[in-house]
């Protein structure tokens, strides 16, 4: 496989993977392009490389910036905006975990805490409701604690811990 084919394959695969992270395909593709680029890219560079419209590029670049995995770069003597991606994969994974926690886990934890305090009667439906909510809340809190540990962890500590658990 030649470089250009490999590059396109990675961009497409990262776009598909982005869907698992809560990103859309184009966001994933832009992110992949910025990760593998040795220099910051302009909106025009991204549009040309991915054959996407200016609106699509701008909207997705802004969304990636909201996720905290792409940043704007000022290049001396340039009037265009340039963008770069976090290239440290460990930092990238922690940032994605941080955002997913904020966007997904924290809202459901809030709801589970609220409904857990609901006044119920002694019916079978109420008992089952309380039981399931309690289990969901317990699971979500443990997941939140695990994510918090991952987000705060240093790479070497994390992998050493994982390896110890596998022994």
What pLDDT, in 10s, does the model give residues 112-131? 999 988 888 888 998 899 89
153 vs 166: CA distance, rounded Å: 18
Q: Is the pLDDT of residue 109 over 70?
A: yes
Greater confidence (150 vs 128) lies with: 128
Overall average pLDDT of the 99-122 stretch? 90
Sign of the C-alpha dihedral, residues 151, 156, 160, 166?
positive
22 vs 17: CA distance, rounded Å: 9
DSSP string, the chain: --HHHHHHHHHHHHHHHHHHHT--HHHHHHHHHHHH-SS-EEHHHHHHHHT--HHHHHHHHHHHHHHTSEEEEPPTT--S-EEEE---HHHHHHHHHHHHIIIIIHHHHHHHHHHHT----SSHHHHHHHHHHHHHHHHHHHHHHHHHHHHH--HHHHHHHHHHHH-
Q: Is the pLDDT of residue 25 over 80?
A: yes
Tell me the two tokens of residue 67. 């996720």
Q: In which residue are the tokens 């290049």 written?
A: 75
Q: Is the pLDDT of residue 160 over 80?
A: no
Overall average pLDDT of the 99-103 stretch? 90
Whole-number pLDDT of residue 120: 81
The whole-chain average pLDDT of the chain stands at 89
Percentage of residues in the chain having pLDDT higher than 70: 92
Q: Is the pLDDT of residue 164 over 80?
A: no
Q: Is the pLDDT of residue 154 over 80?
A: no
Greater confidence (148 vs 58) lies with: 58
Overall average pLDDT of the 65-81 stretch? 93
């Amino acid at each position: 496989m030649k470089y250009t084919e490999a590059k396109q394959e990675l961009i497409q695969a990262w776009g598909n993977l982005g869907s698992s992270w809560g990103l859309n395909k184009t966001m994933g593709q832009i992110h992949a392009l910025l990760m593998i680029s040795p220099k910051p890219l302009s909106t025009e560079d991204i549009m040309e490389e991915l054959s996407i419209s200016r609106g699509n590029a701008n909207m997705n670049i802004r969304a990636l910036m909201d996720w905290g995995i792409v940043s704007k770069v000022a290049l001396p003597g340039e009037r265009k905006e340039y963008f770069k991606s976090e290239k440290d994969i460990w930092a990238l994974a922690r940032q994605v975990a941080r955002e997913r926690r904020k966007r997904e886990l924290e809202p459901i934890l809030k709801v589970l805490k609220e409904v857990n305090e609901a006044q119920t009667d002694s019916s079978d439906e109420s008992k089952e409701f309380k039981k399931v909510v309690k289990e969901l809340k317990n699971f979500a809190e443990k997941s939140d604690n695990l994510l918090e540990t991952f987000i705060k962890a240093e790479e070497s500590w994390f992998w050493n811990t994982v390896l110890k658990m596998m022994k």
